[in-house]
């Protein structure tokens, strides 16, 4: 075990930090600290321009192999990039779905034609993606998707019908990857396909969901004979679940450390507030701040274990990775509660009518999503018990 980064990696850190210092200025100054979770609806157009700025510096897709246009950064360098990015308070990435999910999925499972068609727009920060997984009847039970895809021999295209929900930034996206049922009689994870669908077409309607915060970054997406070219299915019809699950594997990567730097920024704000308003002298608050600090520190160490960990060989997640979602989501939710308790009665007072939340208020409300999306805490506990501890699987219902 050793904790220090190599001299070359430290050099790389300097390079990232100085590029961000030089470029996150002028027209982009106002984007600092904006666009993160709970604030993704802010400055979408300006943040798209920022993506192109990043691309000019070759700072998009740093972890992609060079053969596909990425920087081919090592794990350590990716960690450093995401840390410095968050440390500089650079804006929430509009391109993270394309960079983190679509790209790696196409590199792993796509055809060369699909890579040629879609990777350049992700790399240069001009094309944006959203994720069409959840449906009204397919939340925790994701395999229960009902959206249908039928191949229309006449037009030579797939026709998609159904509804997706909780689609982040769908209204700002050019494409959506969609899992839909290609085998009409199938149930569960069999008979699904994985489609790359253009958003700007008559068969697609996006309706924003007004959230607990009064803002909207999640959407409902309705597919009414939406079209998808025969070249835009990833894998064979029926293999969609394999691709969809492979994609979820890409989610648990190095970006966790960048996410933690955002948490660190929020935590630091709570500490500053506690010191300035006197809450820091309350022994109970002191304990809670110290606990939050402790667990945020350990979150980082746990990610370092995940990233350095020996492969389990069978593709299953290591134990420290299995617990990670439950750990960070629960921590973040508690941070929101701590922030309100540090604010005291001021936590109720808004910046302006009708509902202008300040950053901590918005965080407090938005973090309630963390323990629900991407596998609720309850589903996470099932997964931990079943995959991590080998306890019996939940019986399927018969309704």
Partner 1 sequence: MEFAFTQEQEMIRDTAASFLAQVSDSAAVRAAMATETGYDPALWSRICTQMYWQAIHVPEAYGGMGLGYVEVVAMMEQMGKHLLCSPFFSTVCMGVNALLIAANDEQKAQWLPTICEGNTTATLAFNGGVNRWDTTAVTATWRKEGDNIVLNGSYRYVIDGHTADLLIVAARQEGESSDIALFVLPAQTPGVTRAWLPTMDQARRQASIALQEVTVETAAMLSGADSGNAALTRIVDLAAIALAAEQVGGSQQMLDATVAYTSERVQFNRTIASYQAVKHKAADMMLQVEVARSAVYYAACVAQEALSGSTLGAELPEAASVAKSYCSDAYFAVAGDALQLFGGVGFTWEYDVHLYFKRAKSSEHMLGNGAYHRERLAAMLLD
Binders of partner 1 among residues 274 to 313 (CB under 8 A) are: 274-275, 280, 283, 286-287, 289-291, 293-295, 297-298, 301-302, 304-305, 307-310
Binding mask 93-132 for partner 1 (x = CB under 8 A): ----------------------------------------
Smallest separation (angstroms) from partner 1 to the CB of 140: 13
SS3 state of residue 80: helix
CA 20, 25, 28: angle at the middle one, nearest 5?
100
Smallest separation (angstroms) from partner 1 to the CB of 376: 12
State yes or no: is 251 an active-site residue: yes
Smallest separation (angstroms) from partner 1 to the CB of 58: 23
Do β-strands 157-165 and 219-229 pair in parallel, antiparallel, or remain unpaired? antiparallel
Binding region for partner 1 (CB under 8 A) out of 2-10, 134-142, 164-172, 243-251:
2-10
Sign of CA dihedral 357, 363, 364, 365: positive
Q: Among 133, 138, 79, which residue's Cα sits nearest to residue 102?
A: 133
Other C-beta atoms closer than 10 Å to the C-beta of 278 total: 11
Residue among 94 and 326 whose Cβ is closer to partner 1:
326
Binding region for partner 1 (CB under 8 A) out of 109-117, 120-128, 157-165, 273-281:
273-281
Binding region for partner 1 (CB under 8 A) out of 84-92, 127-135, 138-146, 314-322:
314-322
The number of C-alpha atoms within 13 Å of 237 and in the hemisphere containing its C-beta is 13
Q: Do you find a cis peptide bond into 300, omega within 30 degrees of 0?
A: no
Q: How far apart are CA 334 and CA 394, in angstroms?
A: 28
CB-CB contact of 222 with 176 (8 Å): no
SS3 state of residue 194: strand
Residue among 54 and 299 whose Cβ is closer to partner 1:
299
Binding region for partner 1 (CB under 8 A) out of 57-65, 199-207, 208-216, 269-277:
269-277
Task: Encode 60-76: b = buried (16+ Cβ within 10 Å), e = exposed.
Answer: bbbbbeeebbbbebeeb
Smallest separation (angstroms) from partner 1 to the CB of 169: 31
Backbone angles phi, psi at 164, to 5 degrees: -110, 160
Residue among 15 and 320 whose Cβ is closer to partner 1:
320
Do β-strands 219-229 and 148-152 pair in parallel, antiparallel, or remain unpaired? unpaired
Rule CB under 8 A: say whether 392 interacts with partner 1: yes
Burial class (CB in 10 A: 0-12, 13-18, 19+), 82: buried
Of 15, 46, 251, 269, which one is the catalytic site residue? Answer: 251
SS3 state of residue 209: coil
Residue among 176 and 257 whose Cβ is closer to partner 1:
257
Residue among 24 and 289 whose Cβ is closer to partner 1:
289
* Total site size for partner 1, rule CB under 8 A: 50
Catalytically active residues, by annotation: 251
Which residues would be at the binding site for partner 1 (CB under 8 A)? 1-5, 9, 76, 79, 271, 274-275, 280, 283, 286-287, 289-291, 293-295, 297-298, 301-302, 304-305, 307-310, 319-320, 322-323, 326-327, 378, 380-382, 384-386, 388-392, 394
């Amino acid at each position: 075990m050793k904790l220090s980064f190599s001299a070359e990696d430290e050099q790389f850190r300097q390079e990232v930090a100085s590029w961000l210092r030089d470029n996150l200025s002028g027209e982009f100054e106002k984007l600092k600290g904006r666009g993160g979770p709970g604030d993704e609806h802010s400055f979408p157009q300006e943040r798209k321009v920022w993506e192109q700025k990043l691309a000019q510096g070759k700072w998009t897709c740093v972890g992609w192999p060079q053969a596909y246009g990425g920087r081919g950064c090592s794990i350590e360098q990716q960690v450093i990039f995401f840390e410095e990015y968050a440390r500089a308070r650079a804006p929430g990435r509009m391109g993270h779905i394309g960079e983190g999910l679509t790209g790696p999925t196409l590199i792993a499972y796509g055809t060369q034609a699909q890579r040629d068609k879609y990777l350049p727009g992700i790399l240069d920060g001009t094309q944006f993606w959203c994720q069409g997984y959840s449906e009204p009847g397919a939340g925790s039970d994701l395999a229960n998707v009902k959206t249908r895809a039928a191949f229309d021999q006449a037009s030579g295209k797939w026709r998609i019908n159904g509804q997706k929900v909780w689609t982040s930034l769908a209204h700002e996206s050019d494409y959506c990857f969609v899992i839909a049922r290609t085998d009409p009689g199938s149930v569960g994870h069999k008979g699904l396909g994985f489609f790359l669908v253009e958003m700007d077409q008559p068969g697609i309607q996006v309706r924003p969901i007004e959230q607990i915060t009064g803002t909207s970054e999640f959407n409902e997406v309705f597919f009414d004979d939406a079209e998808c070219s025969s070249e835009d299915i990833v894998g064979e019809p029926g293999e969609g679940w394999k691709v969809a699950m492979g994609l979820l594997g890409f989610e648990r990567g190095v970006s966790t450390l960048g996410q933690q730097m955002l948490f660190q920024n929020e935590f630091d704000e709570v500490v500053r507030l506690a010191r300035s308003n006197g809450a820091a002298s309350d022994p109970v608050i002191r304990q809670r701040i110290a606990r939050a600090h402790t667990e945020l520190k350990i979150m980082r160490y746990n990610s370092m274990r995940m990233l350095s960990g020996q492969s389990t060989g069978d593709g299953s997640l290591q134990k420290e990775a299995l617990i990670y979602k439950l750990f960070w989501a629960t921590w973040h939710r508690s941070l929101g509660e701590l922030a309100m308790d540090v604010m005291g009665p001021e936590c109720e007072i808004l910046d302006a009518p009708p509902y202008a939340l300040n950053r901590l208020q918005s965080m407090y409300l938005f973090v309630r999503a963390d323990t629900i999306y991407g596998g609720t805490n309850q589903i996470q506990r099932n997964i931990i018990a079943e995959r991590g501890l080998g306890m019996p699987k939940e019986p399927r219902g018969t309704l």
